[in-house]
Amino acid sequence: MCDTEELFDTTNRLGFFGWLRSGRDAMRKKMTVIKEIIRKPGDYDLVVLGTPDWGGMPSPAIRTYITQNLNALKSVAFFCTHGGSNADRVFAELENICDRKAVALLNVKTKDVNKGFFADKIKQFVEKIK
Ligand SMILES: Cc1cc2nc3c(=O)[nH]c(=O)nc-3n(C[C@H](O)[C@H](O)[C@H](O)COP(=O)(O)O)c2cc1C
């Protein structure tokens, strides 16, 4: 078990124009306004940061979270959900924003999540962050 924190982006990302805005914002490395977080990242030895792949970039919400909490973060690990890209660019950018290497990486394709085909990957990821 672990504590979790869901990030809420206050930008309207609904519909076709929301989709366009989201891809553009991510690729331009834009920040956004996220709702106030509950947990203090500084209370944890390791924070696992997750994001969807939007145009080869992390989402504005996770970019904002990391930037606002950079000094509190100790070790980090990343997971990325995507439609088929390999997520390498997303991970490179996350390491760039965090200014440190991740202890473990996990990328999962949406289709595999829906089919439940990712248990082994998660097992390997968990072994690394233990
Ligand atoms: C604006 C936008 C851009 C996306 N760009 C990519 C992409 O470049 N490569 C990719 O594999 N998937 C891409 N996707 C698919 C998402 O990564 C995938 O739907 C997401 O990880 C699923 O997680 P979610 O249910 O939290 O949205 C994109 C999705 C959106 C909405």
Could you tell me the domains of the chain?
Answer: 15-129 (3.40.50.360)
Instruction: Report pTM.
Output: 0.95
Per-residue tokens: 72: 């509190």
- Residue by residue, pLDDT tens for the chain (130 residues) are 899 999 999 999 999 999 999 999 999 999 999 999 999 999 999 999 999 999 999 999 999 999 999 999 999 999 999 999 989 999 999 999 999 999 999 999 988 887 877 888 899 999 999 8
pLDDT at 110: 87
| 51 Cβ inside 6 Å of ligand 1 | no
pLDDT at 93: 98
| 107 Cβ inside 6 Å of ligand 1 | no
Please report the atom of ligand 1 found closest to the CA of residue 84: 11
85 C-alpha to center of ligand 1: Å? 9
| 53 Cβ inside 6 Å of ligand 1 | yes
Neighbouring residues of 113: CB distance < 8 A, sequence distance ≥ 6: 81
Per-residue tokens: 94: 């996350």
Whether 83 and 110 have beta carbons less than 8 Å apart is answered as yes
